[in-house]
Structure 1
Amino acid sequence: MTITEASPEARPAGRRRVVWTVLLWLSLMPAAVWFLGRTFGWEAGLWVQFLAFTPYVAVWTLIPLIVSLFARRWAAAAVAALIAFGFAMAVAPRLTADADRGPSAGVELQVMTANLLFSGAEPSEIVRLVRENDVDVLAVQEFTPRGETALRDAGLEKLLPYRQLAPEFGASGSGLYSRHPFADQAARRNDGGFQQAHATVRVPGAATVFVESVHPLAPAHPNMVSGWSADLRDQSPADGGIPRILLGDFNATLDHRPLRDLIATGYRDAADVVGKGGIGTWGPYDGDPIPPVTIDHVLADKRIGVRDVAVHDIKDSDHRAVIAWLTVPAA
């Protein structure tokens, strides 16, 4: 009987293969857990903040897939491909324009949202964007008495003379400015403590449209997550009645289940519809080392068409302005 032993050179090579295989499988676990958590809406603690960076994780999932293929670890490659495919199905739609953008016939309406960072944003920038883009309705968040005065002095009320304003010191103030008159108007304080100005706008030649400046509590700390989720659940659903537009700083991305549930009541995310849902609106814009994420949105009732969306920097704000060109139903 002949006994053959592995050569000394073969044993280290075998161990390296085992180590590589184990590392590949371990690299797949975080992405798999992330995908399942995002899909089934598990939202607790700091995880809610991490979810905002899902598009970056989607790109990262390609790395273990490529490594698995080159290493010929076919089982790991198959699992990596499934994970990457799942992330692609979650993220890719916001990067490609939808065939259905809603009704194209009706009356054009331009809307804009801007978080003013405690009203420290440069007021002339806001007025310039309103003027250059023929904005009809402007929603502002983190709107203070100082900000109200600064925007008035910059000439905003000459362009948008109708207004529902609820300025407050700090981050809780809210406002709506409009080119067109209001049928009714008010402001409500959400459970998170933030004002949300809202109004029914009389658009010439069109049916009236309900517009609200949205600003739920931010999930900045684990003990704030329940309030954040409650504020998002408490937003007006698109369940009939007059057409609705919700716009503002939602403190949520399309990877957060409460925002997806709100959209599912009958809204479209305007940026998502035109393939611009991956453009960041918050993060590094005031110098913080944070990758861009998309937490400012324009949600339009499905009875409202979406023509285009643009995102603009605002000097001295940590958010970017979002402008949407919409088509509302004719009267």
Structure 2
Amino acid sequence: MTATLRGPRLPVKTWIVVLWAVPSVLFLAFAALRLLGVTGNRFIIATVALTPYIGVIGLALGVVGLFMRRWIFGGVVLAFAMITSAAVVPRIVTNDQPTVFGPQLTVMTANLYVGRADAVALLDLVKQHNVDVLSMQELSPAMVQDLDRAGIDRVLPYRLFDAQRGASGSGLASKFPLQETKIADPATFAQPSAIVDLPGVVDPEVLVVHTAPGVEAEWTGTWKAELAELPDASKGKDKPRMLVGDFNATLDHPDLRDVIDRGYIDAGEQRGGGMTPTWPAGIWPPPVSIDHILVDGRCAVLDYQVFDLAGSDHRAVLASVNLP
């Protein structure tokens, strides 16, 4: 009987361990910031937005660590990666919705990229999906002219526009009459709001949201303040409230989660689309979800979709809801 001789296990080369350990330490630092709800400076804000991608990297690092038999450190990395990913996974699962008997409303939001978006393409989406209320950010005077030429009045005859040059303008267009309200403090970009006069007794209140970009150093504090100043849902108990637009924040940012905790639900998260990217329209930087439709928690979200919008660096977001 011949015995099989086995030599000692060859150690993993030091440079390979270092190549694995350095990103693993960086991942653990990121995971701690994410789990503790820290946004800090613009670099942390940008990094937290990439949580779904970094979570996958963390899982890979943990598995590699265990494969190299770095049991303790590899296990710690894998555990933190699983905890981080656990906060993301529910966004791809459709939640049960309450039984609600109020009217149905279809809302769309579109960032028009300083008026460069294709007005005809936008109105084609509106008509194709029977949109009732359209929230627009970066609405320029030239874009208003394009929308008029494309026939917006035939589709959405009521408007509340604050058109401005550059990225500052915003507007609402609706199938139903709009009554202007003031539910948000003045911000860097225009954020008009209105009560939508629906047939019947339920009239929702819609705010166009466009916060300053927190990833730019001069706007970081402003971004935090503008999210903190967004109105809560409880103040409009008789009128279900919606915050619709470009929040420049993902569901991983605690600042946005704080807004949601004030009585809202995120339409994308409710319908399993919470990880569908809305910006940029291309592949770099890594696409993330910063455009949202937040609705009163008493509403039922029936549908959620994201569409490419020709000429814009954002994608258009649509949600259909049943109002209470």
Same fold (TM over 0.5): yes
SS at match of 1:200: strand
Residues 263-293 of structure 1: per-residue CA shift (max 9 Å, x gap): 011111100111111111012x2x5732211
Match of 1:42 among 23, 38, 54: 38
CA contact (8 A) 1:190 1:216 kept: no
Name the CA distance, whole Å, in 2 between partners of 1:235 and 1:48. 19
**Pair 1:316–1:111, CA change in 2 (3 A):** same
Residues 119-158 of structure 1: per-residue CA shift (max 9 Å, x gap): 1100001111111111000000000111111111111111
Aligned to 1:118: 114
Match of 2:208 among 207, 213, 218: 213
Query: TM-score, normalised on structure 1?
Result: 0.89
Match of 1:175 among 152, 163, 171: 171
Name the CA distance, whole Å, in 1 between partners of 2:37 and 2:183. 30
CA contact (8 A) 1:106 1:206 kept: no
Match of 1:303 among 294, 298, 305: 298
Match of 1:87 among 84, 89, 114: 84
Match of 1:322 among 293, 312, 317: 317
CA shift for structure 1 position 42: 1.9
Name the CA distance, whole Å, in 2 between partners of 1:102 and 1:217. 34
State the identity %. 37
**Pair 1:130–1:186, CA change in 2 (3 A):** farther
**Pair 1:318–1:237, CA change in 2 (3 A):** same
| Pairing of 1:102-117 with structure 2 (within 5 A) | 102-117=98-113
Name the CA distance, whole Å, in 2 between partners of 1:278 and 1:288. 15
**Pair 1:26–1:281, CA change in 2 (3 A):** same
Gaps of 5+ in 1: 1-8
CA shift for structure 1 position 184: 3.7
Aligned to 2:254: 257
| Pairing of 1:281-296 with structure 2 (within 5 A) | 281-283=278-280, 285=281, 289-296=284-291
Residues 104-133 of structure 1: per-residue CA shift (max 9 Å, x gap): 422110000000011110000111111111
Name the CA distance, whole Å, in 2 between partners of 1:31 and 1:256. 17
Gaps of 5+ in 2: 1-6
Name the CA distance, whole Å, in 2 between partners of 1:118 and 1:20. 47
Match of 1:61 among 51, 58, 61: 58
CA contact (8 A) 2:102 2:322 kept: yes
CA shift for structure 1 position 102: 3.6
Aligned to 2:224: 229
CA shift for structure 1 position 190: 3.2
Name the CA distance, whole Å, in 1 between partners of 2:33 and 2:270. 25
Name the CA distance, whole Å, in 2 between partners of 1:214 and 1:13. 58
Aligned to 1:4: none
CA shift for structure 1 position 252: 0.5
Name the CA distance, whole Å, in 2 between partners of 1:279 and 1:217. 22
CA contact (8 A) 2:266 2:293 kept: yes
SS at match of 1:196: coil
User: How many residues are matched?
Assistant: 315
Match of 1:274 among 266, 271, 275: 271
CA shift for structure 1 position 20: 4.8
CA RMSD of aligned residues (A): 2.1
Name the CA distance, whole Å, in 2 between partners of 1:289 and 1:153. 33
SS at match of 2:84: helix
Aligned to 2:153: 157
Aligned to 1:245: 242
